[in-house]
Amino acid sequence: MKNDFVRQLGRKPAIITVKRGLALSKSYVVLALFFTLLAILFANFGNAFLRDVPGNSGIRVGTSLSLFSIALTVIAAVMLTTSVILLYVYDKNNGVLEYFLSLGMNQGDIYKRYLKAGVILVSILMIAVAVANVTVGLVLKGDVTVPLVATGIAAALSLSVVSLGTMAMMTFSSLQKTLAGANQPLGIALEGLLVVPAYVTPLILPFVGAVVVDLAETVFIAALSIALFLLSSRLISREKLLP
C-alpha cells in the first residue's frame, strides 16, 4: 500500500516537474544549501551581537538581527526554485509547452505545473529550516521563539516571493530573457529585488517593527501573486507559449 502511494505520488505532474528541474541544474541546490546554513546561523546566534547603547540604559542595538535570517532563507528558496523557472524556459523553447497545449491544457493548467513545483520545493525547505532551528535551540538549551518566528515569516514571504516571481516570469515573455552575460531569466532578478526590504528592516528597526514590516510586505506580495495568477489567462495568449 505504501509503495503504491509513493509510486502514485511520483507520477503527479508537479512532482515530475520538481525532479526534472532539479536534474536540470545542481548548482542552485548547492547555493540554496549555503544560504540556508547562513540563515540558521543568524536565526540562532544573531542576538549574540546585541550590545548596550552607551549612556542609554536598557536600549540595545541589533535586537532584530536574528531576523536577518528571513532574507537569507528567502534567497535560499529563490535559489532552490530557480531550476523550475529555468525548466519552464527550456520547455517553452523545446516545444514541451506546445505539447501540453495539444493535450487540451490552457495557460492556467500549464502554469500550475511549475507553480506547484516551486511551492513544493519551498515547503520542503521551510520544514527543514524549522526542524534545524528547533534542533539547534534544544542542543544549545536556548530560546527557540525568535528562530521559529523568523522561520514562520520566512516561509510566508518565500512562498509569496517565489509565487509572484514565477507567475510574472511565465506571464511576461520579457522576463524570460536573460541578463547580459548571464544564463538566468530576468524573472529571477525580480525575485531578488523583492527580498531587499527584508535585508534592511533588521538593521534599522526594532524586533516588533521589523516583524510588522516583513509581514506587511508578505501580504502585499501574496496579493499581487494571486491577482497575477487570476489574470494570467487574459494577460498572455496561447500563441506566446509556443517556441
- Predicted confidence band of residue 127 (pLDDT cuts 50, 70, 90): very high
Q: Is residue 25 part of a domain?
A: yes
Closest CA to 107 of 173, 16, 11: 173
Q: Is residue 2 part of a domain?
A: no
For the stretch 162-176, pLDDT in tens is 988 888 888 777 677
Q: How high is the pLDDT of residue 205?
A: 79
Mean pLDDT of the chain: 79
For the stretch 14-70, pLDDT in tens is 888 889 888 887 888 999 999 999 999 888 876 555 444 444 444 344 456 788 889
Instruction: Using DSSP, state whether 60 is helix, strand or coil.
Output: strand
pLDDT at 197 over 90: no
| Total-model pTM | 0.83
Residue 198 contacts residue 157 (beta carbons within 8 Å):
yes
Q: Is residue 42 part of a domain?
A: yes
Interatomic CA distance for residues 82 and 167, integer angstroms: 13
Question: How many CA atoms within 13 Å lie on the side-chain side of 230?
Answer: 6
Residues in the chain: 243
- Predicted confidence band of residue 130 (pLDDT cuts 50, 70, 90): very high
Q: What are the backbone angles phi and psi of residue 59, rounded to the nearest 5°?
A: -95, 130
- Predicted confidence band of residue 182 (pLDDT cuts 50, 70, 90): low
Domain that holds residue 21: 12-241
For the stretch 84-105, pLDDT in tens is 888 888 888 888 888 888 888 8
Q: Is residue 3 part of a domain?
A: no
Q: Is residue 90 part of a domain?
A: yes
Higher pLDDT, 178 or 89: 89
Q: How high is the pLDDT of residue 159?
A: 93
Q: What is the total count of domains within the chain?
A: 1
Q: Is residue 101 part of a domain?
A: yes
pLDDT at 198 over 90: no
- Predicted confidence band of residue 242 (pLDDT cuts 50, 70, 90): low
pLDDT at 146 over 50: yes
- Predicted confidence band of residue 236 (pLDDT cuts 50, 70, 90): low
Q: How high is the pLDDT of residue 153?
A: 92
Residue 44 contacts residue 133 (beta carbons within 8 Å):
yes
Please give the average per-residue pLDDT across 109-113, as a whole number: 84
Please give the average per-residue pLDDT across 100-120, as a whole number: 85
Q: Is residue 5 part of a domain?
A: no
Q: How high is the pLDDT of residue 239?
A: 58
- Predicted confidence band of residue 158 (pLDDT cuts 50, 70, 90): very high
